[in-house]
Each structure stands twice: as structure tokens, then as C-alpha cells.
């Protein structure tokens, strides 16, 4: 597809429903390669990417269902298990923690740019994503399943990817609602 940049930015949508076919590893690797060109202050390149295979993804689905079951009951947990089991591809992006609060903020900002680049890179090839920060991404077992030391890294997002089954409509506020023109 490879749309031009304005069109990719404008048309990218968060995707919750995917077709079953799994995008090729090559397409995902290309998007990860592109994403690392995100701006990052002091050249810290603070992002880390975990690419989940089916076994790890299944374990995350199970963990998420157990969290939902405890909070909202079995019926909701089963519904989530069904929808999460249909997700074709899984990445997790983390950010290396810093003891310096300002550096940590700047590094987190850089990681968010990384995730946006990743999403846009995938979208330009017809692959949708969902950036998720649900409870599961902060659960201690999630860190254990992915082999992440929570003292060293924080989770920026769980990134689902796949070919969209449905592309939702979205809106944004008019520019004048947030733009202040100064003299």
C-alpha cells in the first residue's frame, strides 16, 4: 500500500477486530526498524520490544482473563478470552527506567514516538494496531511471562497487530479548540 505520510497519519485507526491471517515477520521487522528512528533526547534509544510467540500470547490471554474474572466475573472473563484469542500478532514495547525523573519522562516520550512510528509503519502496509495499557500490562505476572525486570523497565504498551476486520470512524476536536495564536 505505502500511502503518503499525511494520509497514513490521518487514516490510521486503533483496531480492535482483526482478520485471522497473521502479517509476515518481514513486515513487522520492517516496521520495528522504522520505529527506531523516533526522536530521543541524549540518544538514549530507551525502547525495548518483546515480540510474543503463540505460547506467550496465550499465557497473556489467560492472565488477562484471570484478572477480569476476579474483577468482573467469569462471563466477562470468557468473553475477553474469546476476543483476545483472536488477536493475530502481539508486541510489547517497554521503556528503560531512569532514576532521574526528567530523563524518565523524556525517555517515555521517546518510546511513545517509537510506538506511533511503529503503528504508522504497519498501517502504511495495511496492518492495524491497538495500543493497550490495560491492567494486565502492569500485573507482576505479565513482567514474569515476558522476562522483564519491572525495576529496570516499564511497559509503554501492549501492541496488537493484524489486518483490520473493521476500521472504526474517529473524530478530533477542531484546531481552534486547542491552538492559541500568540503575537
**Phi, then psi, of 161 in degrees rounded to 5:** -145, 155
139 binds ligand FMN (CB under 6 A): no
Instruction: Find the shortest distance in angstroms from Cβ 10 to ligand FMN.
Output: 10
Q: What string marks each residue from 11 to 40 as x (binds ligand FMN by CB under 6 A) or -?
A: --xx--------------------------
Distances (CA, A) of 24 to 60, 136, 177: 22, 26, 41
> In this complex, which beta carbon is closest to ligand FMN, that of residue 127 or of residue 183?
127
131 binds ligand FMN (CB under 6 A): yes
133 binds ligand FMN (CB under 6 A): yes
Q: Which of 17, 129, 29, 1 is nearest to 84 (CA)?
A: 17
Three-class SS state of 91: strand
C-alpha to C-alpha distance for 39 and 107, rounded to whole angstroms: 10
Interface region with ligand FMN, contact rule CB under 6 A, candidates 68-76, 94-102, 126-134, 140-148: 126-134
Q: Which residue(s) pair with 92 in the sheet?
A: 50, 158
Instruction: Find the shortest distance in angstroms from Cβ 117 to ligand FMN.
Output: 13
Amino acid at each position: 500500500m505505502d500511502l503518503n505520510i499525511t494520509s497514513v497519519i490521518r487514516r490510521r485507526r486503533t483496531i480492535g477486530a482483526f482478520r485471522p491471517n497473521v502479517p509476515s515477520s518481514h513486515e513487522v521487522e520492517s516496521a520495528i526498524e522504522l520505529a527506531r528512528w523516533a526522536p530521543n533526547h541524549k540518544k538514549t534509544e530507551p525502547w525495548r520490544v518483546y515480540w510474543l510467540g503463540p505460547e506467550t500470547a496465550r499465557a497473556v490471554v489467560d492472565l488477562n482473563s484471570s484478572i477480569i474474572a476476579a474483577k468482573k466475573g467469569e462471563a466477562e472473563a470468557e468473553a475477553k478470552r474469546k476476543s483476545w484469542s483472536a488477536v493475530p500478532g502481539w508486541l510489547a514495547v517497554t521503556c528503560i527506567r531512569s532514576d532521574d525523573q526528567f530523563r524518565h519522562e523524556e525517555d517515555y516520550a521517546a518510546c511513545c514516538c517509537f510506538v506511533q512510528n511503529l503503528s504508522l509503519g504497519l498501517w502504511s502496509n495495511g496492518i492495524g494496531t491497538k495500543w493497550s495499557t490495560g491492567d494486565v500490562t502492569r500485573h507482576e505476572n505479565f513482567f514474569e511471562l515476558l522476562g522483564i525486570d519491572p525495576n529496570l523497565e516499564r511497559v509503554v504498551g501492549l501492541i496488537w497487530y493484524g489486518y483490520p476486520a473493521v476500521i472504526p470512524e474517529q473524530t478530533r476536536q477542531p484546531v481552534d479548540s486547542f491552538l492559541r495564536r500568540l503575537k
